[in-house]
Amino acid sequence: MTTRDKGITSPLFTAAGSGSVIRTMQAKLQELSISVDDKGAVGNGITDDYPAIILAQNALVALGGGELLFTPGKTYNVNTSIPMAMGVTYKGTGRSVIDLSGTVAGARIVSSNTSIFINNVALREGIFFKDLWLESLAGGGHIFDWSLAGIVAKVEMSGVVLVQRNADKSVVNGIAAGGVFSIWMHDFDYLYQVGNTVPALKFVSTTVNSIVIERFWSLCSTSATSGTYSIWIESTNAVGPALNCEIYQGIFEQPGGGAVNLLSTRNSGIDQCGIYDLVATPNNAMFRIAKGSIGGAPAICWAKGIRSVTGTAGKPDLQIDTSNAAASGHLVESCTLTWLDGVSTTFGPCIAISTSTIANFENIAYTSQSASPTLDLVFGNTLGSSKSYQIWNGYVGNNEGYLNIYQNGTYVGAVGPNKDFRWGGTLGAPANTMTAAGYTTAAPVTVGGLTAAATAGAGARHFVSDANATTFQSVVAGGGANKIPVYSDGVNWRIG
């Protein structure tokens, strides 16, 4: 069956199933996609394909959106930045992959003199990128430059390869003046192969919300500038933090300037990431969680499965660094941190915390095979004003199996694998006693509330509130009104 429109015969289309209506095949095909090749794109890596891409994009927008197709095996060069269009899916056919032989599988968009995609003054949302290789060649700009006014929202990237070959340009420069939120990047790879001086993925704005980056592999420079992290998320809002951001199941290789930096964030986390830090002297901590100087609620970090193949010289694996003493609620959970260097380099701490009021640590396993891992767990210079540092099921040490604790870089003691507390002494040989400069307090209990003497063990001490006698070394009994100290001889609790 056909229909005639302006003298042209067009076949008809009817979708399967009940309730379908008859439409022209031309209308159906227009609804699904438009290829940039249909508008004259050459895809030889030399010809400027920007005019053809814009013609195809405009035609697709006029239809209400759909897929803008790029042909696999072709390289589309652009000399002008492509403004992202709402409702458009920029799509290759078949996921682009990294081929070490130099062959690019999938469709490729490149530029050597400008950023590839930009935002616009108007709201830009509902945009998808799938199965593409996007590469900024030498002399090019950012791959995604979202630095103009307006908002960038509801952008999804899947199956893309992002390659940045310029030290001073980002893979994603997400600093739109109106805010950046609801960005979902998943199942992708990005490479930053030169000595970068800016973050690879940067999301910094007054409004930063719901940035989710998951299931990815990255290779960043070994000579990155100090403080230049692979992923940087920050709220610059004077009254509120970045919200609900997550870095999940990512592999970082050689993040010389650090892997992730979360500044002024809340309900944001780093989860199940692997870090292969093959850099002898990287410039910063692998992960940094910081409150910053603005107001708002605290940062929260879940950091699971962190691994360092080579130790970080003088820098911590995880740094919770806040310039606002009111910051709280940091959670570090189920971490595995391993240094396998085995050389005499003096490394930084496993975890470093400064000026935070509450930090919880759960199920941390840390091992170092270095000859000199100087610091394991470090609390900052304002420890006296801090509170509620808690560690559960921690096994942190450098071959002798103790959780070594430092204050201001000075060794003060350790927690042993048998739950014994040993203070003083030296690293690897803590003292057998704990000495307090002031006094220690045991909360009073009734005699009936004492742990069994055999369970407590000989030498254990407590304080009871209801002893019926005060005779030294006699077995204590309850029912009285005497408040006295008691000790265990391994069989009974005795007064004294």
Tens of pLDDT, residues 339-372: 544 333 445 556 666 654 455 565 566 555 544 4
Is the separation of the CB atoms in 301 and 335 below 8 Å?
no
Q: What is the dihedral sign for C-alpha 469, 470, 471, 474?
A: positive
Q: Among the CATH numbers 1.10.3470, 2.60.120, 2.30.29, 2.160.20, which is that of 114-430?
A: 2.160.20
Share of the chain above pLDDT 70, in %: 58
The identity of residue 59, as a single letter, is: A
pLDDT band, residue 248 (cuts 50/70/90): confident
Tens of pLDDT, residues 136-148: 999 999 999 998 8
- Round to whole Å and give the CA distance between 38 and 56: 8
Residue 251: CB atoms within 10 A of its CB come to 16
Does the structure show a pLDDT above 90 at 100?
A: no
Judged by average pLDDT, the poorest of 75-84, 95-104, 462-471 is 95-104
Residue 432: CB atoms within 10 A of its CB come to 9
Helix (H) or strand (E) holding 46: strand 44-48
- The predicted structure's pLDDT at residue 184: 93
Task: Find all residues with CB under 8 Å of 438, minimum gap 6, and list them.
Answer: none
- Round to whole Å and give the CA distance between 136 and 114: 8
- The predicted structure's pLDDT at residue 286: 77
- The predicted structure's pLDDT at residue 288: 79
The pTM score is 0.72
Please compute Rg for the chain using Cα positions: 30
Task: Find all residues with CB under 8 Å of 90, minimum gap 6, and list them.
Answer: 68, 70, 127, 128, 129, 130, 132
Judged by average pLDDT, the poorest of 63-77, 201-215, 268-282 is 268-282
- The predicted structure's pLDDT at residue 55: 95
Domain range summary for the chain, segments of one domain joined by +: 114-430, 447-495
Backbone angles phi, psi at 204, to 5 degrees: -135, 115
Residue 15: CB atoms within 10 A of its CB come to 11
CA distances from 18 to 14, 22, 29 (A): 10, 12, 21
- Round to whole Å and give the CA distance between 174 and 405: 39
Is the separation of the CB atoms in 90 and 115 below 8 Å?
no
Judged by average pLDDT, the poorest of 13-17, 99-103, 284-288, 477-481 is 99-103
Q: Is 195 helix (H, G, I), strand (E, B) or coil?
A: coil
Over residues 271-289, mean pLDDT: 71
- The predicted structure's pLDDT at residue 285: 74
Tens of pLDDT, residues 425-442: 666 565 555 555 567 777
Q: CA 332, 333, 338 angle in degrees (round to 5)?
A: 90
Token readout for 53 is 């891409």
Does the structure show a pLDDT above 60 at 95?
A: no
- Round to whole Å and give the CA distance between 391 and 401: 15
Bridge partners of 486, per DSSP, are 462, 495
- The predicted structure's pLDDT at residue 296: 41
- Round to whole Å and give the CA distance between 191 and 220: 6
- Round to whole Å and give the CA distance between 496 and 488: 10
Judged by average pLDDT, the poorest of 216-225, 253-262, 286-295 is 286-295
What is the average pLDDT score of the chain?
74
Judged by average pLDDT, the poorest of 32-46, 154-168, 213-227 is 213-227
Is the separation of the CB atoms in 43 and 49 below 8 Å?
yes
Candidates 226, 278, 287, 281; CA nearest to 257 is: 226
Tens of pLDDT, residues 178-237: 788 899 999 988 887 667 788 899 999 888 889 999 999 888 765 666 668 889 988 887
- The predicted structure's pLDDT at residue 315: 65
Candidates 171, 186, 279, 177; CA nearest to 231 is: 171
Candidates 174, 169, 132, 133; CA nearest to 155 is: 174
- The predicted structure's pLDDT at residue 365: 60
- The predicted structure's pLDDT at residue 466: 96
Backbone angles phi, psi at 58, to 5 degrees: -60, -40
Higher-pLDDT residue of 220, 23 = 220
- The predicted structure's pLDDT at residue 326: 41
- The predicted structure's pLDDT at residue 48: 96
